[in-house]
Amino acid sequence: MEYRRITSIQDPLFKKMHDLMKEVFPQEEVLDFELWKEPLEDPGIRVFVAVHENEVVGATEYRYYPDWNIAMTDFTIIGKSGLGIGPFLVQKRANDLMELAAENSKQLFGMFAEIYDPYRVKDHDFGGIMSMNPFVRREVLAHLGYKRLDLQYVHPSWNNDGEAVSGLDLCFMPTDPTVSEISADLVVNFLNRYYSVLPEKPAEWIQMIEELETKETVQLLPL
């Protein structure tokens, strides 16, 4: 299996990846094909696919923020079961992030991720791919060390229509498993930068940010 980076919508592997995304994610979570042009060309956004027998069988997008020494996992897709795609992507991503942090003369502090809560939202079947089942995903991510932030989380819809998307938790995986809280300022700054690409912010998101700005820290709770 190969770990291939995609940096252009002209890459034939990108269309295969985008088709896979549309199969497994809800419509409001998938950016339109043409709108991927700038993100893919952004050196700070790292999009990789797992290629097996010339087919895209998995994908992951993530980014590293050197000023905060943290990362964000945008998504991980496992397109087929029984190929070891999940461990393959996790290890390749971890190695890449460790190298990026080392170039920054740091050890990675941790990584954010938005994780579906299947106990609240039960209609995501992720294209019928059992490896992507939200109960399975949540348990796997808990085993990796992700913890949920103690807040009522929403995010702006990627349709940029000003709608709030709920049913997810904002989570953080600290490199040091003894870390039990993180700076509220870090969360606010990260979310403001991460969603700066979407000008239409829902009122619920703005209220969430304002509430975070009144706090010093945010607790990390079991997932």
Q: Are the CB atoms for 190 and 73 separated by under 8 Å?
A: no
Task: Output the pLDDT for position 138.
Answer: 87
Q: Are the CB atoms for 114 and 124 separated by under 8 Å?
A: no
Per-residue confidence in pLDDT tens, the chain, 223 aa: 999 999 999 999 999 999 998 888 877 778 888 989 999 999 889 999 999 999 999 999 999 999 999 999 998 999 888 899 999 999 999 999 999 999 999 999 999 999 988 877 666 555 566 666 778 788 889 999 999 999 999 999 888 888 898 889 999 999 999 999 999 999 999 999 999 988 889 999 999 999 999 999 999 999 8
Reported pTM: 0.87
Task: Output the pLDDT for position 133.
Answer: 73
**Concatenated DSSP letters of 196-218:** TT-----HHHHHHHHHHTT-SEE
Q: Which of 66, 183, 167 is nearest to 124 (CA)?
A: 167
Task: Output the pLDDT for position 103.
Answer: 95
Residue ranges making up the domain that contains 207: 2-221
d(CA 137, CA 130): 9
Quote the number of domains for the chain.
1
CATH number at residue 137: 3.40.630.30
